[in-house]
Structure 1
């Protein structure tokens, strides 16, 4: 011990404290079991306001006894498999522990336990609070109405070789919900499509749907190739309604690529204007992307047969009160509410406004597309 202390330039007593896992703070020493010895006053006490250093946090973590058992096993030249079996852990856990907490090939159990306890300390400074480059990138994503999950996964695609440009979506949510430690600008919180300042369970109210006289082809008759999204060109559609249901925008989403089209309805959203708007939108697409359209039983589709004749597209109708049968469109309409809030007059948005919103939505990376964008997937279809 005297030789080792001399090599590192510390007192022999300090060396003994290090070996026993004792921390020195002024005239006091804190032992691994939480005992505090104040040599100035001669008093001894346990720290009651904090967790003792050797407390068992969870079975997921190594305890001080586990680490001492690892050190003993190494001294006795036991295999890693034998050491792991002795403390009920996996061999890879032991391997990582030894590799992370060895100095010049010697495993130091007390130091390892202190380091692990320090790493678990809370609260930690948010990664976004200390990395301005990463924070700016996240803020840019939020300002363009990307969700935290989309931002997190897109960073991996945009910076594949830069490990510093990594942040989990949970960290972003925490930064928004807890401004004091998050590091994000307070006004960016409005980028969350829910507009909430705290989390709450999501509710999905039912939607009243109506049947009409003309014969309908029900969704149960829709071909399997539409159901499994194996063939592109099959669309889901609906209306998003404005204040007092006096204005509306028709939304169309392609099931395979999630590509979105918005249809301007300036006068009304009765059957004839909706029919004409949908026909005009679909005629801008190549023939192989005009397969079918799935809609609910709203009265705006009363002219569905005329639409089918004009576009050569079959129209399939969902069962009453079953919005999940058009899940892709329902999800997209939820995203569109960031741009067209409920209770507002949608007639103020012209065709150019709708085109801008559709382009921005189609540039969003999607989890279901492996974090590609709908525009990228549609481009691939058009160029192959």
Structure 2
């Protein structure tokens, strides 16, 4: 028998270790908050709409990585009404303070008397030993009792977790296996609150990982996971399977899941006398024939640049090394002088020629480029390489969508605000290899390297059959 003086020591009810102070918000507030976030408002505005303070809303958004829990998402099923709500618990607390009986409370709420009796017995406050019913404490007890913590699939399956982590954070390498950790490039740190400093890694997207599992493990149902589960393991605190800092391996480098703003960069005016994209044959548009390329530049700090070439059919990528010329930055630039930054018309022409000339002639059919002064020598480039050169309409980079999409992928390795001239030719080869060995949804989750190799083998076989 308990012999202490305190009522809590005399109580026969099992003592509960206090997990902390009951929260001032309820599940209804969280549901309203994430519903507002789904509508596109800021976390501060969503907090006000949910009935809590703006700092609380920002704290909710950060702690969850910008992702609601499954039961709080806008797509989840609404509560069925089977469980008591916080408003009903407030009514029970008021009626108990007035001295109302169990059946009277049940009639007022339209609930069974046993439901009210069980609620009071289970969720009354017990720290003082008395069964005083408080709505906030009762809701707190009910929420803790309703928790059904279940370890995620990545936490239970070590092989699956290692596969996901290797494709997210594995080191990039050249075709001969030489790995690169990535240079220490200066970074301005814009929007550092929402972005992390990028890491050089394989950086497969969660969707690529999820879909490639079906190809690599066709007969193992345990090696399956959805891309959304990978995102939750990265962003939501407490999942424990993947370290949250691995979100730096995502292409966006975002530490939070947030809507992105589209940035429209207007290109430079272009010289006259060029073939426009409207003059392009239909066989280029439908991607049926290989050998048609799209190209462009990605720009960095100090007018540094890297050139990109993407084959339209296979999405195979080649990167152009555009080093700065001697004398860059030593003196004031001369008007109409040589482009010492490394991406002038002559430098770009030489880089394209050196990169693409080793390909068979039937894989050098055409090149589509955005309008820019770096292609001022397109006529000479056509003579040297045999490529038909076409140009997009003004301010219409979407007309070469394969290249624009690839440039977005390359920003994982060459983020804006960094000096791209620090990357050598070997590093560009390694990055291109990482991109070409990454599965693509548009290729049926095959890699561009596999698709490009199939094209080469098909051409070889056709050549053997013709000569035979």
Q: Same fold (TM over 0.5)?
A: yes
- In structure 2, how many angstroms separate the alpha carbons of the residues matched to 1:185 and 1:226? 44
Which structure 2 residues correspond to residues 50-89 of structure 1 after superposition, within 5 A? none
Q: Is 1:353 aligned with 2:434?
A: no
Which structure 2 residues correspond to residues 181-200 of structure 1 after superposition, within 5 A? 181-200=239-258
Contact 1:34 1:47 in 2 (8 A): no
Please state how far the C-alpha of 1:186 moved relative to its aligned partner.
Answer: 2.8
Change (3 A) 1:155 1:46: farther
Please state how far the C-alpha of 1:127 moved relative to its aligned partner.
Answer: 1.3
Q: Which of the residues 128, 134, 137 maps onto 2:163?
A: 137
Q: Which of the residues 211, 223, 233 maps onto 1:153?
A: 211
After superposition, give the CA deviation of every residue in 1:76-125 in whole Å (9 maximum; x if it has no partner).
Answer: xxxxxxxxxxxxxxxxxxxxxxxxxxxxxxxxxxxxxxxxxxxx986643
Contact 2:233 2:242 in 1 (8 A): yes
The residue number in structure 2 matching 1:265 is: 322
Q: Which of the residues 377, 395, 400 maps onto 1:321?
A: 395
Which structure 2 residues correspond to residues 208-357 of structure 1 after superposition, within 5 A? 208-245=266-303, 247-267=304-324, 268-357=342-431
What SS does structure 1 have at the residue aligned with 2:390?
Answer: strand
Report 1 or 2 for greater relative contact order, CA contacts < 8 Å, sequence distance ≥ 6. Answer: 2
Change (3 A) 1:183 1:276: same
Please state how far the C-alpha of 1:280 moved relative to its aligned partner.
Answer: 1.0
The residue number in structure 1 matching 2:133 is: none
- In structure 1, how many angstroms separate the alpha carbons of the residues matched to 2:283 and 2:232? 41
Please state how far the C-alpha of 1:187 moved relative to its aligned partner.
Answer: 2.8
The residue number in structure 1 matching 2:235 is: 177
The residue number in structure 1 matching 2:173 is: none
The residue number in structure 1 matching 2:46 is: none
The residue number in structure 2 matching 1:55 is: none
Please state how far the C-alpha of 1:182 moved relative to its aligned partner.
Answer: 4.8
Please state how far the C-alpha of 1:238 moved relative to its aligned partner.
Answer: 0.5
Change (3 A) 1:124 1:303: same
Q: Which structure 2 segments of 5+ residues have no match?
A: 1-109, 124-145, 170-201, 325-341, 459-468
- In structure 2, how many angstroms separate the alpha carbons of the residues matched to 1:357 and 1:151? 18
Please state how far the C-alpha of 1:244 moved relative to its aligned partner.
Answer: 2.9
Change (3 A) 1:35 1:140: farther
Please state how far the C-alpha of 1:337 moved relative to its aligned partner.
Answer: 1.1
What SS does structure 2 have at the residue aligned with 1:141?
Answer: helix
- In structure 1, how many angstroms separate the alpha carbons of the residues matched to 2:121 and 2:428? 63
What SS does structure 2 have at the residue aligned with 1:261?
Answer: strand
- In structure 2, how many angstroms separate the alpha carbons of the residues matched to 1:337 and 1:344? 10
Q: Which structure 1 segments of 5+ residues have no match?
A: 1-32, 50-119
- What is the TM-score normalised by the length of structure 2? 0.56
- What is the TM-score normalised by the length of structure 1? 0.68
Please state how far the C-alpha of 1:343 moved relative to its aligned partner.
Answer: 1.3
CA RMSD in angstroms, aligned pairs only: 2.4
After superposition, give the CA deviation of every residue in 1:198-234 in whole Å (9 maximum; x if it has no partner).
Answer: 2222222112123333401111111111111011111
- Structure with more strand by fraction: 1
- In structure 1, how many angstroms separate the alpha carbons of the residues matched to 2:147 and 2:393? 53
Contact 2:235 2:244 in 1 (8 A): no
Count, aligned residues: 278
- In structure 2, how many angstroms separate the alpha carbons of the residues matched to 1:48 and 1:234? 71
Contact 1:174 1:182 in 2 (8 A): no
